Amino acid sequence: MDQISTRQSLPAEPRDFGFYVDGAWVPAAERAVFTRHSPAHDVPVTRIPKCTEGDLDMAVDAARRAFDDRRWSGLSGQARAAVLLKAGALIRARAEEIAYWETLENGKPIAQARGEVLGCADMYEYASGLARSLHGDSFNNLGDGMMGLVTREPVGVVGIITPWNFPFLILCERVPYILASGCTIVVKPSEMTSATSLILAQILTEAGLPDGCMNVVTGSGSTIGQAMAEHPRIDMLSFTGSTAVGRRVVEAAGKSNFKKLGLELGGKNPQVVFADADLEDAADGVAFGIAFNTGQCCVSGSRLIVERSVADRFAEMVRDKLSRAVVGDPLDEATQIGAITTEAQNRTILFYIEKGKEEGARLICGGGALDMGQGQYIAPTIFGDVTPDMVIARDEIFGPVLTILPFDTLDEAIAIANDTDYGLAASVWTKDIDKALVVTRRVQAGRFWVNCTLAGGPELPLGGFKQSGWGREAGKYGVEEYTQIKSVHIEIGKRRPWIA
């Protein structure tokens, strides 16, 4: 795969998209259209239809038909695997194009976007194996007259609502696993970043996915997203986004058909650094953990909990690392930190930076917007002397803002790490295996990293403890999540009569 150049150019015209239902594009036609501007370049890049609730019904009907007539769930695992493998190959072949539109709508560095897209191809390849190995259980110990089976069946029509921070990655942490299980899908991407979800739908059709199994409806969260949560013919909904909207989704599911829910919500993730760690390695990891994707990352390591004896030296090491990160035009191959994706998020991050200053935290670096001539950028920011009660230590900021909380003992480090409503991810940095294991056991988080951070891949599951969510995505757990279990009792020979 060739890279087009070290600095791709902007599109001459915004690209027009329709939405995707029953294996075909539906043109925007007379519907209202949302024009998305690149947050890094301030120019229009895509035009996306604002779908109506009628459009959603059309997509749900298509997914419903495709599920109910068994055109997908009735295929063998081998046949489903073939489609997933082909999809992985097509994603690889079109990685440059997907990364380009991801970068334009999201503002993330093109090299990072490319890496994410290739990682997504791997998920389809991995999930193809799961389509073939998914199985239930059997009971051969019920006596000579009875055998028991436990089978797994696909849940049905699955809705997926995604956010704008990793539009393609978060989608692909779900779609191949859901398809491997035999379910059909209706997606609503974030209105800010719809392009790559739409491109994916077309790729899946090209890969041989039967019509109606993957549908994408674009539009706002308050209309289409809310209508999905309330929809009586959607059997399960996977929602990734804010905790506040997650709460609304739970209420809507309860008021409609009790659809099964998967929720991946916010995080305020601890990075616990002991004095005996390889501090050079840890400083690089902590800088990466807070600045990757400009901190707009549910698993970003936003709370640095560091042993007091090295706290000042370590803060200086992280500051030095961040000062050397390349911030700039995300279309430039060398860029490591791009733009903030939405205007609302930009305002939110700047609000929290001012809050930190008001609360009396010590500003170590950054502290405001970066003027790059165009687009919206925020300087990587570190606050020292943070106390656990400060707002900047408690709220998910979702930006490149690191708060430092020192500790003296292992127990204190664990207590600070757990002093949050969230439980999505955590890291520990130490050369002492006992400390690493104690922290790994006692800190409440769905994903844990030892002497690394933000590592991932299709094999290991992701999801949160506490208010970070429900359920797991990826790995074998990610397929099982989209199945329901049926138990089957089979009589062997003549039944013992109830009335003789």
The residues that are catalytic are 264, 298
For the record, the structure tokens of 463 come out as 């999801």
Please select the residue that binds ligand TXE; options are 8, 226, 418, 484, rule is CB under 6 A.
226
Cβ proximity to ligand TXE: between 234 and 404 the closer is 234
3-state secondary structure of 93: helix
Q: Other CB atoms closer than 10 Å to residue 343's CB: what's the count?
A: 12
Cα 401 from Cα 353, distance rounded (Å): 8
Q: What character string, x for contact with ligand TXE (CB under 6 A) and - otherwise, covers 174-213?
A: --------------x-xx----------------------
Query: Chain centroid to CA 135: how far?
Result: 26
Residues 47/14, Cβ–Cβ less than 8 Å: yes
Q: What character string, x for contact with ligand TXE (CB under 6 A) and - otherwise, covers 341-360?
A: ----x--x------------
Which stretch in 61-69, 95-103, 118-126, 263-271 sits in contact with ligand TXE by CB under 6 A? 263-271
Number of residues counted as binding ligand TXE (CB under 6 A)? 28
Cβ proximity to ligand TXE: between 8 and 242 the closer is 242
DSSP letter, residue 182:
T
Please select the residue that binds ligand TXE; options are 51, 66, 229, 272, rule is CB under 6 A.
229
3-state secondary structure of 260: strand
Residue 222 near ligand TXE by CB under 6 A? yes
Please select the residue that binds ligand TXE; options are 159, 212, 241, 475, rule is CB under 6 A.
241
Q: What character string, x for contact with ligand TXE (CB under 6 A) and - otherwise, covers 390-409?
A: ------x-x-----------
Strand ranges in 251-392 using DSSP code E only, listed in sequence order: 260-264, 270-273, 303-307, 362-365, 369-370, 377-378, 381-384
Residue 470 phi/psi, 5-degree rounding, is -125, 140
Q: What is the CA radius of gyration of the chain?
A: 24
DSSP letter, residue 224:
I
Q: Give the residue closest to ligand TXE by C-beta.
A: 221
Residue 240 near ligand TXE by CB under 6 A? yes
Cα 266 from Cα 293, distance rounded (Å): 15
- Residue 28: C-alpha distances to residues 12, 31, 64, 212 (Å): 20, 6, 23, 19
Cβ proximity to ligand TXE: between 453 and 483 the closer is 453
Cβ proximity to ligand TXE: between 73 and 302 the closer is 302
Q: What character string, x for contact with ligand TXE (CB under 6 A) and - otherwise, covers 291-310?
A: -------x------------
Q: Which residues bind ligand TXE (CB under 6 A)?
A: 161-165, 188, 190-191, 220-222, 225-226, 229, 240-242, 245, 248-249, 264-266, 298, 345, 348, 396, 398
